Chains A and B, each alone.
Chain A
Amino acid sequence: MSVSRRELLRLAGITAGLSAGGCLLAACGSPPGGPAGASPGPVRGGGTAPARRGGTLRLAFAGGGASETLDPLAAYSPADLVRSMVVFDRLFTVTDGAAAPALAVGAEPAADARSFVLTLREGVTWHDGSPLRAADVAYTLAALTAPTSGAAAELTAYLDVAKVSVTGERTLRVPTLRPVGDPATLLAGAGLPVIKEGTKSFRPGELAGTGAFRVTAFEAGREARLTRYERHWGGAPPADELVVLSIDDPQARVNAVRDGQADYASDIPYALAKAGAGAAGLEIRSAGERRRTGYGFVLNTTRAPMSDPGVRMALRLAVDRQALVDAVFLGYGGPANDLYGHGAQYFASDVPVLTRDVARARELIKAAGAEGARVTIRSADYETGLNASTELFAEQLRALGLDARPQIVPPAAYFDPDGLAGADAVVLPLGPHPLSVIFTRSAAYPSLAFADPELERQTATAVSTTDPRRREQAWRAAQRVMTERGNWIVWGLGDTLSLTRADVTGIEARDSAKYPYLGKAGFAA
């Protein structure tokens, strides 16, 4: 293996340092608004000024090399996901942490929550002019669950796809394998793009979506050119054309914007952002406080010492959140309250951040007889800073008298079930997904799940009840369990940063700010 992600990140750091130096030498001046010597805070939000009609917007995202695809069900890299979201529409989207109607206007659960009726929006057309029909959705669900589809398909655990029945031109009945009380949020969280019935290949030209833009040219790992679809159900999008550039190296993305080869560079590492925007008319933006990603660890409660609730509490009391926030986020973030799902509907934001108490932590460890216990912490840099946070966390645990050892693996090997089961803690970043997604993903492996009867009862209720009040109470109770004795240590919330021309506007963060929705993006008037 010739190069690891780690080395690439180091490279990014080195070149960031170089360009910062170059900037000083060339006397390009500090960005407007920032005091000399201090790095300016990022501009919040995705640009709120109304976008004017017209213009070609060039946006750079991390891509997937030659394995990029126009198949939205196989979308994987940020560039893939961004394209898929703007060319195809979803049934429901995640907007401000809750489900919002898109191609579907309703998902009405039956009284027993064992099925739901999906009603599609009227007046939606595919890029070839034909109307959206219920059969298209049924086809999409079948394609999703094909064994080789490669789609993550968390939905397959809930939907009884084989028994889906089309009940009208724009309605279908979807039976579920277990009760689902809020199908709209389930569908929104799964981010399911709808493809047209009979779609077999995904080539530019013949490909039809319902989205705000059509694909006119595509080269995997290089660029996709998308043109406005005037008849989009959400109104004609402002920009004439979007160019989605695949640039994997963050430094190269930054260079492309500074050099005027692109207007927007997504997901900029904190170290690069510290160097400032680097030229007049550019700005560093954060996707906003509600869009922050929770960085933390999930403890393996299936074996000692993490099976002891006292040890879990001790770790949460001992972790130096501020030190981690300073070292990993470089100021672009803040400490967190040990719960994943910040920014989501029903998130318990009133749970306070635990005050650090090392003496109490030592007592708890002693009471549990866990002094000197071996703690293996598994990590991979599939997001910037995960390995750094793991190294620092391990150091903090060693100061507590535990034999903590980071286990750094390549990203491709990270989710190996045996590897996860053999670790006492695993690193896990989670964005502002709906809580149902948060609780499913953080417990996707037996060694990560927290087997607690009350937690299981409450999450089951939260997912199955059709009553919003009961759902809110159940999520609250589930989060209380996690706060009191759970296996999460979410130490911080990190910003998602971008470098952009100041007049770029309308970039909407939906599921994740790392792959925003571009249907409303354009240049400010």
Chain B
Amino acid sequence: MRRPAPTARQVRALANRLIVAVFLLVLLSLVVYVGVDLLPGDPVTARLGQAGPARVAEVRAGLGLDRPLATRYLDWAAGLLRGDLGTSATGRPVAEMLSARLGNSMLPAAITVVLMVPSSLALGVTAGLFRGRPADRILSTALLLVVSVPEFVLAGGLVLVFAAGLRWLPAVSLVPAGGNPLDTPAVLVLPVTALLLLALGYAGRIIRAATAAALRAPHVEFLRLNGIPPRAVLARAVLPAVLPVAFQVWLTTAVGLVGGAVLVEKVFAYPGIGEVLITAVQTGDLPVVQALAMILGAAMLVALLLADLGTRAMVPSLRTAPR
């Protein structure tokens, strides 16, 4: 089958989407900066509050925190364009503080995604195929349970069973200074398991729903009634309808895993961005919160853009239909 060359209209559509994405990024930066700035507390009050108001005012001025919001935003945004994420209230560059941590957080997230893609597809499609029957009920209930249990309870339960009880795995994911988590892979097992269960609960349920909906579609029923073997129906009619949905869920879940692992990281004391985010919020270290929110927000925008383009590529009618 020969792929048709992209038409001028398709190129224009892509360009439009990119322009919209850039516009959204600018809007996001504004919302993030101003929103975080409005959070109660600032780094100087948090750290030096006990020393009294005079010292607080002096250090605030020293750090330039007393300048107008608009000026500070423009400075910060200009820095972002140069790839400068700003300076933490502790005087260290934010980029330096986050670089190793982002990598650490992306590692379990990436492993989780690799495991989640096949397993959520298998679970979701299986449950969808057996919809309404015991196998589906068991699977759906299990997925629902995993989604509804707070992540720290889930993670805490894993520690109880596999670390405190069976003593198979370390309770706390300590990574020695100068090393990275891959040097001690055992510390990754429990965090990844916790993340995987959470991701499965979410993605599996959506894929199940998409499968069930596809099975009810008239053309699938037509194929079935005409005696086409179930395997072929699944491959030619059901999966093509499920995959675009699954693709979107996977991408958004993947980004969510990096940012949403906060509590899981906390339970395992895993040195990722979750810990940085919590400490930064607690100590009012706003530049760090702003940079993290911006990075995660931008990643989510890119994921949504990719999901959109991927869906277009996978669904012929969307690819060729005029906008």
Q: In the assembly, what is the distance between CA of A249 and CA of B171, in Å?
A: 12
Which single residue of chain A is at the shortest CB-CB distance from B273? A66
Nearest residue (CB) in A for B63 is A148
Q: Which of B268-283 contact A (CB under 8 A)?
A: 268-269, 271, 275-283
Does the CB pair B98–A64 fall under 8 Å? no
Cβ of A221 and Cβ of B271 under 8 Å apart?
yes
Q: Look across to chain B and name the residue whose beta carbon is closest to the beta carbon of A17.
A: B156
Closest chain A CB from B106 CB (angstroms): 16
Q: Is B136 an interface residue (CB 8 A)?
A: no
Among the listed A66, A253, A414, which residue makes an inter-chain contact with B279, where contact means beta carbons less than 8 Å apart? A66
Q: Who on chain A is nearest to B61 by CB?
A: A147
* Contact B91 A74, beta carbon cutoff 8 Å: yes
Partner of A67, one of B165, B269, B288: B288
A255 (CB) vs chain B CBs: closest residue: B171
Stretch at the interface among B3-11, B34-42, B199-207: B34-42
- Judge whether B282 and A410 touch: CB under 8 Å: yes
Residue of A nearest to B98 (CB): A66
Nearest chain B CB to A9 CB, angstrom units = 12
Query: Which residues in window 28-58 of B have CB below 8 A to A?
Result: 39-43, 45-53, 55-56, 58
Is A1 located at the chain interface by the 8 A CB criterion? yes
Q: How far is the CB of B88 from chain A (nearest CB, A)?
A: 6
Given the contacts A22-B160, A219-B178, A261 and B50 also touching, CB distance less than 8 Å: no
Sorting the interface of chain A by its residue count into under 10, 10 to 19, 20 to 34 or 35 or more gives: 35 or more
- The residue on B at minimum CB distance from A8 is B266
- Contact residue among A67, A221, A223 (Cβ-Cβ distance under 8 Å from B176): A223
A:417-466 near B, CB below 8 Å: 417, 441, 444-446
Judging by beta carbons under 8 Å apart, are B50 and A222 in contact? no
Q: In the complex, which residues of chain A have a beta carbon less than 8 angstroms from the beta carbon of B98? A: 66
Question: With A69-B92, A249-B267 given, is the CB distance from A411 to B282 under 8 Å?
Answer: yes
Instruction: Check B51–A152 contact: CB distance below 8 A.
Output: yes
Separation of A149 and B177 alpha carbons in the complex (Å): 26
The one of A3, A222, A262 that contacts B262, using a Cβ cutoff of 8 Å: A3
The residue among A5, A18, A262 with the most chain B CB atoms within 10 A of its own CB is A18
Query: How many inter-chain contacts with C-beta < 8 Å in the A-B complex?
Result: 217
CB neighbours of A248 from chain B (8 A): 266, 269, 275, 278-279
A284 within 8 A of B: no
Residue interface bits A200-223, CB-to-B below 8 A is 1, else 0: 000000000000000001111111
Indicate if the CB atoms of A410 and B40 lie closer than 8 Å: yes
Task: Chain A residues near B141: list those with CB within 8 A.
Answer: none
- A66 touches which one: B172, B269, B284, B288 (CB < 8 A)? B288
Q: Is the CB of B267 within 8 A of A251?
A: yes
In Å, the complex CA distance between A416 and B41 comes to 7
Q: List, in ascending order, chain B residues with CB within 8 A of A319's CB.
A: none
What is the CA–CA distance of A314 and B271 in the complex, to the nearest angstrom? 49
Contact of B171 among A3, A8, A259, A416 (CB under 8 A): A259
Q: Residues of A contacting B267 with CB < 8 Å? A: 11, 15, 249, 251-252
Determine the chain A residues whose CB is within 8 A of the CB of B167 once the complex forms.
Answer: 259
User: What sequence of 0s and 1s flags, for each residue 331-350 of chain A, a beta carbon within 8 Å of any chain B beta carbon?
Assistant: 00000000000000000000
- Contacts of A152 on B, CB cut-off 8 Å? 47-48, 50-51, 55
Q: Which of A14, A156, A217, A417 lies in contact with B177, CB distance below 8 A? A: A217
- Say whether B103 faces chain A, with CB atoms less than 8 Å apart: no
CB distance from A142 to the nearest CB of B (A): 15
Q: Is the CB of A217 within 8 A of B178?
A: yes
Flag whether A412 is at the interface (Cβ < 8 A).
yes
Q: In the bound complex, do residue A261 and residue B170 qualify as a contact, i.e. CB atoms below 8 Å apart? A: yes
Q: Cβ of A148: which chain B residues have Cβ within 8 Å of it?
A: 59, 62-63, 91
B152 at the interface (CB under 8 A from A): yes
Shortest Cβ gap from A499 to chain B (Å): 13
Q: For residue B53, which residue of chain A has the nearest CB?
A: A417
* A368 contacts the other chain (CB 8 A): no
Q: Which residues of B contact A74 (CB under 8 A)?
A: 90-91
Residues of A with C-beta under 8 A to B294: none
Task: List chain B residues, Cβ under 8 A from A149.
Answer: 59
Contacting residues, chain B, for A441 (C-beta < 8 A): 50
| Pairwise interchain contact B269-A252, C-beta atoms closer than 8 A | yes
> Knowing A14-B153, A252-B267, A255-B163 touch, does A67 contact B88 (C-beta < 8 A)?
yes
Query: CA separation between A431 and B41, bound complex, in Å?
Result: 24
Q: Is B115 an interface residue (CB 8 A)?
A: no
Asked if residues B178 and A412 are in contact (CB atoms below 8 Å), the reply is no
Given A74-B90, A147-B59, 8 more A-B residue pairs with CB atoms under 8 Å apart are: A63-B279, A76-B47, A251-B156, A252-B269, A255-B164, A259-B167, A411-B41, A411-B282
Give 15 pairs: A residue, B residue, CB < 8 Å, sorted on A.
A15-B159, A15-B160, A67-B88, A76-B283, A149-B59, A150-B59, A223-B174, A223-B177, A246-B269, A251-B156, A255-B164, A261-B171, A416-B40, A444-B52, A444-B53
Q: Which 4 A-B pairs have the closest CB atoms?
A: A415-B49, A412-B41, A65-B279, A412-B284
